[in-house]
Amino acid sequence: MIEKINSLKARIEALSADTPEQVEQLRVQYLSKKGEVSLLFNDFRTVPAEQKREVGQKLNELKNLATERISALREALEAKAEADNEAAIDLTRTATPLPAGTRHPLTLVRGEMLDIFARMGFTIADGPEVEDDWHVFSALNFAADHPARDMQDTFFIARNPADVLLRTHTSSVQTRVMEHTQPPIRIVCPGRVYRNEAISARAHCFFHQIEGLYIDRNVSFADLRQVLLYFARQMFGPETKIRLRPSYFPFTEPSAEMDISCNLCGGKGCGFCKHTGWVEILGCGMVDPAVLEACGIDSKQYSGYAFGMGIERITNLKYRVKDLRMFSENDVRFLDEFVAAK
Ligand code: DAH
């Protein structure tokens, strides 16, 4: 019996395997119920009582040896497989692409609008969102009791020492530029504006505008009309028609509002244009001489026009966004829709 144990021990110590399958075969051959080690345990019954202690001990050692040897073989094969795998990683492969973001629809449309005006020689001017009464209202000829100054429209930050407020329109940038620059002036001013409105699908407490201003000698209303026609056709297509309706703004005289032929129904009339065939997109007019004078420009020598429009409105017309709140909610399902847009 001892001999049998010793010879089996020698064989087990010399075991080797090249594949996991071979390791499994060895396990079955030695350690399964009918394996060679287990069979020796069966023979244990026949061992004379005085040898039982010694043989029992050797048998247990043999079983432990077989178990350890076989799991060592398995581990060695697993470690080798892992090392092979690592060597197989190709470090020169291009990286997995990371999902790229998209530009916000208002950014896209603002860029498109500014490009059109840049082609007509307009440069970009900028001004602060936190403004004072003078630049937003007084210099622009708003009477002291004009309703736009009212608390309901304007977010006031401080009443004293000077009135500090969030600008309600980008016309304030006109004031700033005219104060520091003598004509000719030809600028567009993009930016965010704030109004104290209840938030709904059609109104928000902040939105975006582009203001335009051109001041020079002999600027006429016909120049204004031609610039706006060019803009409308570039933005909405060569078939687009415009119409100017008389209106009122404190800072322009005469003033007008401009409609374009509804680009959804082509002017035939639909729900979007309330069956009129026209949609309003901007306010405009000839800069009031009082505004020029308030900003230090000689109104006898110079004249000019101004216009202002909402970027959200133009974006709605182009992309049919029905709810203004979509622009500020950052819902990626909405933003993803503009991936393909230029
Ligand atoms: N500032 C006006 C508004 O926010 C828009 C506007 C109208 C701007 C006429 C102008 C203009 O420059 O001439 O509603």
pLDDT computed for residue 342 by the predictor: 45
Residue 171 Cα to ligand 1 midpoint, Å, equals: 6
Query: Which residues does a 6 A CB cutoff place in the pocket of ligand 1?
Result: 169, 171, 211, 249, 252, 283-285, 306-308
Distance 320 CA to ligand 1 centre (A): 23
Model confidence over 180-193: pLDDT tens digits?
999 999 999 999 99
Give the C-alpha distances (Å, rounded to integers) separating 131 from 139, 172, 290, 307. 12, 8, 21, 20
User: Which pairs with CB-CB distance under 8 Å and at least 24 residues apart come from 104-108?
Assistant: 104/327, 104/335, 104/338, 105/315, 105/319, 105/321, 105/327, 105/335, 105/338, 105/341, 106/208, 106/311, 106/312, 106/315, 106/327, 108/338, 108/341, 108/342
Q: What is the mean pLDDT of residues 31-57?
A: 85
**Best residue for ligand 1 mutational test, from 171, 194, 312 (most atoms within 8 Å of Cβ):** 171
Q: How far is the CA of 284 from the centre of ligand 1 (A)?
A: 6
pLDDT band with cut points at 50, 70 and 90 for residue 151: low
Ligand 1: distance of its center to the CA of 230 in Å? 19
Question: What is the atom index within ligand 1 of the atom nearest the CA of 209?
Answer: 4
Whether pTM exceeds 0.75? no
Ligand 1 centroid–CA 308 distance in Å is 4
Band (pLDDT 50/70/90 cuts) for residue 161 is low
What percent of the chain shows pLDDT beyond 90?
Answer: 55
Atom of ligand 1 nearest to the CA of 305: 13
Specify the residue with its C-alpha closest to ligand 1, atom 7. 283
Q: Report the atom number in ligand 1 closest to the C-alpha of 285.
A: 13
Of 173, 194, 208, 284, the one to substitute when testing ligand 1's pocket (max ligand atoms within 8 A of C-beta) is 284
- pLDDT above 50: residue 328: yes
